[in-house]
Amino acid sequence: MNIRKAQIEDVETMFEIRTSVTENHQSREEIAELGITPETVTQMLQTDCCAWVADIDDKPIGFSIANATEKTILGLFVLPSFEGRGAGKAVLQKAEEWLFSQDIDEIWLLTGNDPNLRAYGFYLHLGWKPVGVIKDGEMEGEMKFVKALYRNSPT
């Protein structure tokens, strides 16, 4: 597996990967309603965001994208047929490392708060902590990761 910094040419592939997932699936139309289009992602990658792509045999299988201004992981997605091979962890670690290199001490992300969701358990397993808004006695999915607790384990 090769992890590389995403280029503008990767944006379309990132959308293909994003819309392929089964858990937290959204169509291109649903994503566009949130203001996320190939054009906006291209613009983001030219300003305060950076993304990484995981390739196996030169085939993109997953990506992460982070925003330094917002101090957040904006997204992390892996093709369903390649889940469980370490791509998610590898691209997440690249995003974490990059954010921490921007003199950021705490980074954030939003995910579903259902413990049965694989993403929720994935982030917990990697040291992310649930925090934030409580609604009806349940955390709504905000998590944070603190630089002081950063793991330097191999991917």
Average pLDDT of each block of 10 consecutive residues along the chain (155 residues)?
Answer: 97 97 91 95 96 97 97 95 95 96 91 79 88 60 70 42
Please state the pTM of the whole predicted model.
Answer: 0.87
**Interval 110-127: pLDDT, tens:** 887 777 888 888 988 898
What's the CA gap between 50 and 105, in Å, rounded?
A: 17
Answer whether 22's CB lies under 8 Å from 31's CB: no
Tell me the one-letter amino acid at 49.
Answer: C
Task: Specify the CATH number for the domain of residue 61.
Answer: 3.40.630.30
Q: Determine, yes or no, domain membership for 155.
A: no
Paired tokens of 121: 């358990």
Could you give phi then psi for residue 48, rounded to 5 degrees?
-105, 15
Q: Determine, yes or no, domain membership for 31.
A: yes
Q: Determine, yes or no, domain membership for 67.
A: yes
